[in-house]
Amino acid sequence: MKVMMSLTVNGKLETIAVRPGATLLEVLREDLRLTGTKRGCDHGDCGACTVLVDGEPRLSCITLALQVRGRRVDTIEGLAREGYPHRLQEAFDREGAAQCGFCTPGVLLSAAALLAGNPHPTREEVRDGLAGNLCRCTGFQKIVDAVEAAARGEGDR
């Protein structure tokens, strides 16, 4: 049996029928076809599935879709605005902060939430803000460099 629910995804109201046990990750990827949100560990350990719920980072693999009924969800597909990349996306590009890119959507959303609450974080605060997002490729230095560059307003948007 499915249950009807509404939520706002990237600014658009969606009304969908979901299994009560469906995760937010499943609904985003399979029902709404927003495949930018990645399934890594599927157990809350890697951060690849991070999305924003009412502006706060949330692991969508361990969040039931029904828990976000009526809430605002932002995914990586909603980060760019009016065809222009977000300043974090520009900084990641410039600094070479994405390699395979699998972790990148989750990292970008965690970083966006961090900068929204703390526009000028220290390097330590950037590391803390991204502590839940694992990256197997970059060694993390370039990711932190990119977030710092975005915080300085380079490529500001």
Which residues here bind ligand FES, judged by CB under 6 A?
39-42, 44-49, 59, 61, 98-104, 135-138
Shortest distance, CB of residue 117 to ligand FES, whole angstroms?
21
**Closest to 8 measured CA to CA, from 156, 58, 126, 16:** 16
Backbone angles phi, psi at 66, to 5 degrees: -65, -20
Taking the complex as a whole, the smallest distance from the CB of residue 153 to ligand FES amounts, in Å, to 24
Catalogue the E-assigned strands of the chain.
Answer: 3-9, 12-18, 50-53, 56-59, 72-74
Indicate the residue type of 92. Answer: F
Q: Specify the residue, 120 or 136, whose C-beta has the smaller distance to ligand FES.
A: 136
CA distance 125 to 22: 33
Which of 56, 120 has the CB closer to ligand FES? Answer: 56
**Cβ of residue 22: shortest distance to ligand FES, in angstroms?**
14
H/E run at residue 50 = strand 50-53
Minimum CB separation of residue 82 from ligand FES in Å reads 27
Q: Which is nearer to ligand FES, 80 or 100 (CB)?
A: 100
Smallest distance from ligand FES to CB 94, Å: 15
How many whole angstroms from its chain centre is CA 32? 16
Beta carbon nearer to ligand FES, 17 or 94: 94
**Nearest CB to ligand FES, comparing residues 4 and 105:** 105
Quote the tokens at residue 78. Answer: 């909603």
Residue 91 · residue 97 · CB < 8 Å: yes
